[in-house]
Amino acid sequence: MSAFRRYVVQNFGLKIFSLAMAVLLWAAVTHDQTVEDAFNVPIEFHAIPENLELNSETIPQAQVRVRGPSRVLAGLRSSDVHVDVDLSGALAGEHTYDLNAQRVVHVPRTVTVSQVIPGQLQVNLDWRSTRRVPVRPRLVGTPASGISVTGVTSNPAEITITGPRQRVSAVSAAVTDAIDVSNLTRRRAFVSNAYVTDPLVQVVRPVEVNVIVDVSRESAAH
């Protein structure tokens, strides 16, 4: 038997075992190599003071870049990543918050945050305001020939709205869904709903609005 063959055969089982362990170790290291990924997630606001409202129509987003074992990041979802801004103690006006990774980002313990974009967030807060505004029925269409609308009443005539003070002050009335009076020939009752066009102003305790449309025949021209 040649020296090379004796070298290969000698302790053959141990050599095979060592080779298998090396392959497994390589696979484990390769499988768990550190990688980086990015997640776009909405910024969540917590502990908003009771008398304040966010004065922004859009939900801000942040891109969170994270590093960790590839097997962990492969199973990580956007829902696992949270960017939180604590608004406790805030007052009305503009405020800038640092999106510090250690303070506001929650991710699994085996994952680290490498960067948050943007690094700062400006938040506009306004005092909450509540007031009553008239309900304005919104008529569309044209009554029958020779007929004209002589009166429109709604019940309730007013509703209560709430939201950021500056926006609430700008609301002159709540309007109803479209009420079609096409080809109307006589008095008619409609049931509708009232809303405010500003998305940050809400109707307090929404109720159905009963609208009465009165019509009469136009006088013949002399």
Mean of the pLDDT values across residues 118-129? 94
When the pLDDT of each residue in the chain is averaged and rounded to a whole number, the result is 87
pLDDT at 27: 55
State the average pLDDT over residues 24-44: 75
Residue 81 lies in a domain: yes
Q: What is the pTM of this model?
A: 0.73
- pLDDT band with cut points at 50, 70 and 90 for residue 101: confident
Residue 123 inside a domain? The answer is no
Q: Do 67 and 144 belong together in one domain?
A: no
Let me know whether 104 and 166 are in one domain. no
Check residue 24 and give its pLDDT: 61
1 vs 109, residue with greater confidence: 109
Percent of the chain with pLDDT over 90: 64
Among 90, 118, 146, identify where a domain stops.
Answer: 118
Residue span of the structural domain in which 173 resides: 128-217
Backbone angles phi and psi of 29, in degrees to 5: -65, -45
Residue 155, domain member (yes or no): yes
pLDDT above 70: percentage of residues in the chain: 84
Of 87, 118, 149, which one is at a domain's C-terminal end?
118
Cα distance from N-terminal residue to C-terminal residue, the chain: 132
Quote the pLDDT of residue 129. 97
Residue 83 and residue 40 share a domain: yes
Nearest residue to 107 (alpha-carbon basis) of 47, 48, 41: 41
For residue 212, tell me if it sits in a domain.
Answer: yes
CA dist 77 and 75 (Å) reads: 6
- Co-location of 134 and 204 in the same domain: yes
Residues 53-61, mean pLDDT to the nearest whole number: 89
- Number of domains observed in the structure of the chain: 3
Q: Is there a single domain that holds both residue 113 and residue 50?
A: yes
Of 118, 146, 176, which residue is a domain's last?
118
**Are 39 and 113 within one domain?**
yes
Supply the CATH number for residue 143's domain.
2.170.120.40
Q: Is residue 73 situated within a structural domain?
A: yes
**Domain holding 88: CATH number?**
2.170.120
pLDDT at 30 over 90: no
Q: Answer whether residue 80 is part of any domain.
A: yes
154 and 164 share one domain: yes
Looking at the domain assignment, is residue 179 inside a domain?
yes
Output the pLDDT for position 33.
Answer: 82
- Residue 84 pLDDT more than 60? yes
Question: Residue 222 falls within a domain, yes or no?
Answer: no
- Tell me: do 140 and 189 sit in the same domain: yes
74 plus 101 within the same structural domain: yes
Is the CB of residue 194 less than 8 Å from the CB of residue 159? yes
* Structure confidence by residue, pLDDT tens digits, 159-192: 999 999 999 999 999 999 999 999 999 999 999 9
Q: What is the pLDDT of residue 45?
A: 92
String of DSSP letters for the chain? --HHHHHHHTTHHHHHHHHHHHHHHHHHHHHT-EEEEEEEEEEEEE---TTEEE--SS--EEEEEEEEEHHHHHT--GGG-EEEEE-TT--SEEEEEE--HHHHEE--TT-EEEEEESSEEEEEEEEEEEEEEEEEEEEES-PSTTEEEEEEEEESSEEEEEEEHHHHHT---EEEEEEE-TT--S-EEEEEEEE-SSTT-EESS--EEEEEEEEEEPPPP-
pLDDT band at 31 (very low <50, low <70, confident <90, very high): low
Rg (CA), the chain: 34
Q: Tell me: do 38 and 26 sit in the same domain.
A: no
pLDDT band at residue 4, thresholds of 50, 70 and 90? very low
